[in-house]
């Protein structure tokens, strides 16, 4: 079976500062990563801050530079080579792959109504042509994301964190993408709301036939929603496999130390952290 997204040997580097002579030193945020995301899967990408998980997610959406390697998106009818897309292809690709942001307080413009927020991608990407079409599409997607249709005329400040994240998800899904990159999309939410948003993502996956790349630092959340997990550390994927296998039988020391560090809800149960020598991200040049 052809994966929806295939990443081969991807490296993303960023220059650090400038030099008068010669190229500046480069920081390799992602180093030689290969990963395939099958169609209809819920793939988790876990790691601590600085592990390169966000950079990898952004590279798939052509939002970070691809230094080496190749990313291809293929849904059977369309095929894009992310690194070498033309402007027209890129515009087309935007309707196929979208991002859900972490902080629903920062992601929504306070000056736009909920209806306009959800309608913006439809208008920008030229998906709907008339106002009636746009409104119909907005109402359809808002209903799917369990947003009260009465609320479409209000501004974001009137909503709680959970409601805002639902609006943010509706905006992401408005253009009808096949692939959704969710970058820490529940990290800023309270636990009682977090469960609601995770259930909604699962429901939408069934309804709209979505494929997710779910980026998170929280292993217990990943364990619950993802069917495949990749663990990143210092720009490399150190371990990957089906969720159950990774959680039942972690192989890499880093995965073990991550799992052991999760505070247990039982006050009398306390696993020792596996000793793990931390490294640093390499800078070359």
> Which residues would be at the binding site for another protein (CB under 8 A)?
48-49, 160-163, 190-196, 198-199, 217, 219-221, 223-224, 243-244, 247, 257-268, 270, 273, 276
Tokens of 77: 């009818």
> Half-sphere exposure of 114 toward its Cβ, with a 13 Å CA cutoff?
28
C-alpha 56/C-alpha 46 separation (Å) is: 11
Cα angle for residues 247, 252, 253 (degrees, 5° grid): 100
Nearer to another protein, 13 or 163 (CB): 163
Nearer to another protein, 129 or 160 (CB): 160
Minimum separation from the CB atom of position 279 to another protein (A): 13
Compute the least distance from the CB of residue 162 to another protein, in Å: 6
8 A C-beta contact, residue 195 and residue 164:
no
> For residues 201 and 182, is the Cβ–Cβ distance under 8 A?
yes
Q: Are strands 236-242 and 228-233 parallel, antiparallel or unpaired?
A: antiparallel
138 phi/psi in degrees, rounded to 5 = -60, -45
Based on its alpha-carbon atoms, the radius of gyration of the chain, rounded to whole angstroms, reads 20
**Are residues 41 and 212 in contact, defined by beta-carbon separation less than 8 angstroms?**
yes
Token pair listed for 88: 């027209």
Among residues 95, 115, 98, 104, the alpha carbon closest in space to that of 197 is found at 104
CA 82 to chain centre: 16
Contact between residue 215 and residue 184 where contact means Cβ atoms under 8 Å apart:
yes
Nearer to another protein (CB atom), residue 167 or residue 179 = 167
Asked if 222 contacts 46 with a C-beta cutoff of 8 angstroms, the reply is yes
Main-chain dihedrals φ then ψ at residue 118, nearest 5 degrees: -75, -30
Q: Which string of DSSP letters, residue by residue, matches 192-246?
A: HHHHHHHHHHHHHHHHHT-EEEEEES-HHHHHHH-SEEEEEETTEEEEEEEHHHH
């Amino acid at each position: 079976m052809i994966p929806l997204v295939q990443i081969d040997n991807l490296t993303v580097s960023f220059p650090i500062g400038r030099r008068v002579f010669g190229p500046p030193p480069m920081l390799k945020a992602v180093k030689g990563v290969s990963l395939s995301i099958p169609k209809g899967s819920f793939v988790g990408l876990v790691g601590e801050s600085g592990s390169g998980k966000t950079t990898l997610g952004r590279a798939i959406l052509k939002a970070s530079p691809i230094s080496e390697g190749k990313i291809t998106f293929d849904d059977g009818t369309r095929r894009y080579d992310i690194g070498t897309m033309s402007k027209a292809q890129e515009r087309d690709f935007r309707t196929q792959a979208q991002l859900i942001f972490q902080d629903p307080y920062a992601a929504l413009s306070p000056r736009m109504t909920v209806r306009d927020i959800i309608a913006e991608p439809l208008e920008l990407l030229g998906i709907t042509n008339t106002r009636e079409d746009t409104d119909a599409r907005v109402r359809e997607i808002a209903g799917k994301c369990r947003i009260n249709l009465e609320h479409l005329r209000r501004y974001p400040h009137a909503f709680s964190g959970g409601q805002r994240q639902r609006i943010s998800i509706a905006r992401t899904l408005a253009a009808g993408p096949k692939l959704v990159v969710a970058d820490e999309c529940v990290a800023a939410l309270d636990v009682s709301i977090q469960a609601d948003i995770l259930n909604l993502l699962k429901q939408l996956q069934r309804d709209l036939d979505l494929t997710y790349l779910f980026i998170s630092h929280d292993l217990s959340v990943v364990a619950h929603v993802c069917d495949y997990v990749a663990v990143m550390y210092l720009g490399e994927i150190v371990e990957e496999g089906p969720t159950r296998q990774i959680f039942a039988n972690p192989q890499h020391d880093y995965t073990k130390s991550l799992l052991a560090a999760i505070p247990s809800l039982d006050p009398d149960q306390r696993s020792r952290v596996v000793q793990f020598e931390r490294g640093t991200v390499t800078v070359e040049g």
